């Protein structure tokens, strides 16, 4: 059995969290003179003068309904990037504990660990971008607190095998963070339904991709209520701002439009795949369960510059581990994708 309590840093366990005015008062009142706000309003919309709900109750209820999960298991952050940072700060003692990442993968795990002076163990994905779980097992010890698994993975686009993730969950005494930023584009379900089987499982999702709300900054973590409570205790009190809470509640009502957009992006991804296959200097299109394609060219830097000179920016991932000559191309609108293909065809 995993002792979640034992995984929390000592200083965090002993922390007396900041209690905001809006945390302490939860009843009904007409006159709010408790938070030193500007009672007159603001220079624009009057409702902006009040601090937002620090516990984001309405938002969590709504997300809980959509994801079919109890709101006590939900933590919301100022983007997933804040969630990553809080996870490392809550569970990794600097200069002692470690996290594990599986390159090539999302860059923020390493950056957040570096900022917090937490060692990063790198266990590279295999050549076909699967988890090298034998190597993962070899590196597991009592100081390995967080294992980050990105699925579908950025920048490779593939899902990780569920059975590999589950065997790691069973083997480690630490926490396993599965970053599902792209899960809505994938051919497999989220691991959310496995949360009750694995108390050490933390799932991250975001509204930045499939919901089209990158500007609002809303990241989600789903985990055992004990874990989500630890994160709540250490977060900045008003980490999800009032406009974000309000607009997200509005946006989440239109699940039909969200599904339409996801389908259109998947269709466009398939179109791009077909077109790219016919281009002679495309060497490989990695199979994608996300909203982007990792494509290997004969000469990625030259193609990158060629696209750039036509005003098309893609992400050069050729320096990432096992991604020589690869560019990561986000699926755009139909028109943008036509333009991309046309521009590629004019190279040389
Ligand atoms: C885009 C992305 C995120 C999203 O981060 P936000 O801070 O929520 O915008 C998280 N993880 C991965 C792997 C991503 O590619």
pLDDT in tens, 300-347: 999 999 999 999 999 999 999 999 999 999 999 999 999 999 999 999
For ligand 1, atom 5, which residue shows the shortest CA distance? 80
Determine phi and psi for 52, rounding to 5 degrees: -80, 170
Average pLDDT, the chain: 96
Ligand 1 atom showing the smallest separation from residue 207 Cα: 8
Taking a C-beta distance cutoff of 8 angstroms, is the pair 147, 168 a contact?
yes
Burial of 78 (0-12, 13-18, 19+ CB in 10 A): buried
- Cβ of 212 less than 6 Å from ligand 1: no
For ligand 1, atom 14, which residue shows the shortest CA distance? 181
- What distance in angstroms lies between residue 218's CA and the mean position of ligand 1's atoms? 10
Q: Region 45-60: what's the mean pLDDT?
A: 93
pTM: 0.97
Whether the pLDDT of residue 45 is over 90: the answer is no
Ligand 1 atom showing the smallest separation from residue 105 Cα: 13
Q: Region 171-195: what's the mean pLDDT?
A: 97
- What distance in angstroms lies between residue 80's CA and the mean position of ligand 1's atoms? 6
For ligand 1, atom 12, which residue shows the shortest CA distance? 181
Whether the pLDDT of residue 145 is over 90: the answer is yes
pLDDT in tens, 6-15: 999 999 999 9
Share of the chain above pLDDT 70, in %: 100
The alpha carbons of the chain give a radius of gyration, in whole angstroms, of 22
Note the pLDDT of residue 288.
98
pLDDT in tens, 70-79: 999 999 999 9
- Cβ of 181 less than 6 Å from ligand 1: yes
CA 318/CA 338 separation, integer angstroms: 24
Taking a C-beta distance cutoff of 8 angstroms, is the pair 205, 181 a contact?
yes
């Amino acid at each position: 059995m995993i002792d979640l309590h034992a995984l929390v840093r000592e200083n965090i366990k002993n922390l007396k969290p900041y209690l905001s005015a809006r945390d302490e008062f939860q009843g009904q009142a007409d006159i709010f003179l408790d938070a030193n706000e500007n009672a007159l309003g603001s220079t624009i919309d009057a409702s902006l003068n009040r601090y937002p709900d620090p516990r984001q109750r309405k938002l969590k209820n709504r997300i809980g309904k959509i994801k079919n999960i109890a709101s006590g298991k939900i933590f919301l952050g100022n983007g997933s990037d804040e969630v990553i940072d809080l996870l490392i700060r809550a569970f990794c003692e600097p200069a002692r504990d470690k996290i594990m990442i599986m390159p090539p993968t999302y860059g923020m795990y390493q950056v957040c660990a570096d900022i917090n002076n937490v060692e990063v163990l790198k266990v590279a994905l295999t050549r076909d971008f699967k988890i090298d779980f034998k190597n993962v097992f070899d590196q597991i010890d009592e100081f390995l607190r967080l294992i980050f698994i990105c699925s579908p993975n950025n920048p490779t686009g593939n899902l990780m095998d569920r059975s590999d993730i589950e065997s790691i969950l069973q083997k480690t005494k630490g926490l396993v963070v599965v970053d599902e930023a792209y899960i809505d584009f994938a051919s497999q379900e989220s691991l959310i339904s496995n949360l009750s089987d694995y108390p050490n499982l933390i799932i991250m999702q975001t509204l930045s991709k499939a919901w089209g709300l990158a500007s609002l900054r809303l990241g989600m973590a789903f985990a055992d209520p004990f874990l989500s409570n630890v994160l709540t205790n250490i977060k900045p009190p008003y980490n999800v701002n009032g406009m974000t809470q309000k607009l997200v509640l509005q946006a989440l009502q239109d699940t039909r439009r969200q599904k339409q957009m996801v389908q259109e992006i998947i269709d466009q991804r398939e179109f791009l795949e077909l077109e790219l296959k016919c281009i002679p200097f495309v060497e490989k299109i990695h199979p994608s369960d996300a909203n982007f394609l990792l494509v290997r060219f004969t000469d990625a830097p030259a193609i990158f510059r060629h696209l750039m000179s036509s005003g098309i920016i893609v992400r050069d991932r050729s320096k990432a581990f096992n991604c020589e000559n690869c560019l990561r191309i986000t699926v755009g609108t139909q028109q943008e994708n036509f333009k991309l293909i046309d521009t590629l065809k004019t190279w040389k």
